[in-house]
Structure 1
């Protein structure tokens, strides 16, 4: 074997290594999902959106709720007997309203208990999906978010504010058209939230929550904490199984050249001696 052969072997190994690592990671995910299913006697569905990177070119790909997600989740629900509970692990910044509504209605229609686990955040469309659950299990520091619709780069509620603050004769046609669409979008999302929350909550409570989350009272990235969700009357708890955190570890962000967060990855307990440099 000469030097050229060694170079070819290096390139082949470099090309195959990411594929092998990906397969091993997928296998580990499936094993853990199956373990959770056996422990909880449920169907586990994971919808975890991380920023991913193309294998060869290194371009970042931003993940969000899309039609493919709704198709896959609805297919999983159809394959689940009505008597089998569903556990949805949700980690998402949001996405398409249509896709989020489809998933929410499909979960609402499932007769057995539906539990949504939010280990970190489920914003916007993710919150809309979480509202369809019989129970939302949040990490004590996890957050939900408002579901007010966005038209392009502008919140629908903010577009309507223009009509209130400016003479209609001084508003251009495009803004008026966007305001009309914004009015419809706000009503549609509010009605959707109200429908999803009924009959789990009273009609009055469902109306109150639907209005608060959709009317644009907060910025779209406003964090609704566990405490605030509890005060709103949502069915939330903090009984997060440790396996959910383990599952999240199997969906890592792309490795950067210089990590922005570092720590010693071992549990620390009170009164124990901390590892020092000489011990590592």
Structure 2
């Protein structure tokens, strides 16, 4: 006769072990699916595919979600990937990021600009701030029609550098404390440095005069830092953008979705719909 307590204990441990193994197996399957699709894109385009995709991590620290930004680890990994790529092989960078460290973004952008093969950046949804800086270094930018880039005004702490300068200019220098004056000095240097870098990475795409105008528009606080720049606004500025996004890029982004929360905020039937003719009973 089987002891009920022992049976319950065994079932409990089986469930516990299964709960530990399931996420590992799921993540392994997801990683394999991503790699398979990346291989498929590489074969189709005869290129090296690199992804820089930031999402809110499903794990959290003390109840607060952990967000990802462009950091030094990202730049190190991308620079390694570029080093492993033949100099004449095209590179396709899939970019989805809120931005991050200027140093890391500039390292990535400079490495992409120095690569001899064609560099294409795909922006399926958004690439703000440092992501925009990276996109500008590409030979070709392909965006979804609803995707956006963003302004490049440097942020000093939590404050836009152009706004710090504007605030100081509105007051008598004797009424401004030393700390604010130091911040203004840093802000002025940061804006100049980013402008110079933008002109540098655009030097082989447009004239110097045009590059300076684009840099001034992006870096001088003309818009708020989170202002969305769609492909139409970018074209008006003189930045060449295409919108023929391959379906495989969207398919790959589907494999980077976050773990579902307890109650999803967006619901739809995940299948393409086509126009249907009116039927006799008025249904579609």
| TM-score over 0.5 for the pair | yes
Which residue, out of 91, 94, 107, partners 1:89? Answer: 94
Q: Note the 1:113-192 alignment, pairs <5 A.
A: 113-192=118-197
For residues 35-57 of structure 1, what are the alpha-carbon distances to aligned partners after superposition, in whole Å with 9 as ceiling and x for unaligned? Answer: 00000000000000010122898
CA distance in 1, matches of 2:61, 2:156: 34
- Conserved in 2, the CA contact under 8 Å of 1:53 and 1:59? no
Task: Show the counterpart of 2:17.
Answer: 12
> How far apart are residue 59 of structure 1 and its match?
4.8
Q: CA RMSD in A?
A: 1.6
The 3-state SS of whatever aligns with 1:10 is helix
What's the counterpart of residue 254 of structure 2? 249
Larger radius of gyration: 2
2:29 corresponds, among 18, 24, 33, to 24
**Whole-Å separation in 2 of the counterparts to 1:151 and 1:269:** 49
Report matched runs for 1:76-115 at 5 Å: 76-115=81-120
**Distance in 2 between the 1:163 and 1:257 partners?**
48
Alignment partners' CA distance in 2, 1:56 and 1:74: 30
Give the alignment partner of residue 208 of structure 2, picking from 180, 196, 203: 203
Task: Identify which of 65, 70, 73 aligns with 1:60.
Answer: 65
User: Structure 1, residues 22-73: CA drift from partner, whole Å, max 9, x if none?
Assistant: 1110000000000000000000000000101228987521011000000000
Which residue of 1 is the match for residue 3 of structure 2?
none
**Ranges in structure 2 where 5+ consecutive residues have no aligned partner:** 1-5, 280-284
Structure 2 CA distance, aligned partners of 1:154 and 1:237? Answer: 33
1:72-107 alpha-carbon deviations (Å, 9 max, x no partner) = 000000110011000000000000000000000000
SS at match of 1:224: coil
- After superposition, the Cα gap between the structure-2 partners of 1:135 and 1:198, relative to the gap in structure 1 and judged at 3 Å, is same
239-248 or 195-204, which deviates more: 195-204
Distance 2:43 2:158 in 1: 44
CA–CA distance in 1 between the matches of 2:112 and 2:226? 24
Residues 162, 56 of structure 1: alpha-carbon distance in 2 compared, 3 angstrom cutoff: closer
Q: How far apart are residue 2 of structure 1 and its match?
A: 1.1
- Structure 1 residues 56 and 6, CA gap change in structure 2 (3 angstroms): farther
Number of corresponding residues = 274
Deviates more, 1:53-62 or 1:156-165: 53-62
